[in-house]
Structure 1
């Protein structure tokens, strides 16, 4: 049962990252948008679990960095929106 859950999470991560890529490539999303960053950060976080499960450590490290970049960018977007203008 756990293995199935991990596979579903991995596929969901792949779909989220693909949606982000297609969105930017077609001009429907901006690379600096919160939507793009959420799709990438959550997709990478899902990949972290999946790659850890499969002992794919180089991919896991890449996705940890990918998620940190995405969540850091989201934090900057949030702070920018919350700061008084």
Structure 2
């Protein structure tokens, strides 16, 4: 189980970093579904990892990160459905 959680932590870290790098190099926009998706899933992975490690301050930051991404995705879907 420990190795599985470690892998989840690494995946989450990579997803958040990839989202940031792609946005920084203007490969994706900060309001794109991919940016939100990478931040949401990366954040979820990091929440699991930090809770496992009992790093509660980091878990708190990642929970907020996930909430921000989830709200942004919700707004994106609402905006897209209004355009139809």
Smaller-chain TM-score range?
over 0.9
Instruction: State TM-score, norm by structure 1.
Output: 0.95
The TM-score, its normalising length taken from structure 2, stands at 0.96
Point out where structure 1 has 5 or more consecutive residues left out of the alignment: none
**Counterpart mapping for 1:43-54 below 5 A:** 43-54=42-53
Cα deviation digits, residues 19-56 of structure 1 (max 9, x gap) = 10100110001111111011011101000000000010
- Is 1:22–2:34 an aligned residue pair? no
Q: How many residues of Structure 1 are paired with residues of Structure 2 in the alignment?
A: 84
CA RMSD of aligned residues (A): 0.9
**Structure 2 unaligned residues grouped into runs of 5+:** none
